[in-house]
Amino acid sequence: MRGPKSTATIADTTKKTKTDAASSKNSGAPRRPPTAFFIFMEQFRKDNKENFPDNKSVSVAKECGATWKYMSDSEKAPYVAKAAKKKAEYEIAMKLYLNDEINESASTLKSSSSLNTHGDVEREAASS
């Protein structure tokens, strides 16, 4: 005989929806760069759509994956180079973004601390 069944409630098993996850991310942050495979897949889909407009996307995706799997490293090299370039650009953009975030939060802290100090001075003057 197996153990007792789970008595988890609906509230315990709720998951974040895509909109919840998207809203929690900062929309001003730079997007992560695509990998070499996704750069290849973009080109492969474009070429395939031009040559075979009636193909379904599932068959194209399977064919793309199989083609990538059997490509040699020298054939993948242009896509790997593009991915490395985009990753370097992303890292620079991310550093700039994080510096801006730090500067914004520091200026927010300074302005809120000066407001609190001013409020404390007023309270002290009113109490005396």
Residue 49 has pLDDT above 80, yes or no: yes
pLDDT in tens, 57-66: 888 889 999 9
For residues 79 and 64, the answer to whether their CB atoms sit within 8 Å is: no
Give the relative orientation of helices 36-51 and 73-127 as an angle to the nearest 10 degrees. 120
Q: Specify the range with the lowest mean pLDDT, choosing from 42-51, 82-91, 107-116.
A: 107-116
- Check residue 4 and give its pLDDT: 66
Could you tell me which residue, 71 or 103, shows the higher pLDDT? 71
Give the count of beta carbons closer than 10 Å to the beta carbon of residue 61.
14
Domain ranges across the chain: 31-127
CATH class of 31-127: mainly alpha
Tokens of 123: 């309270």
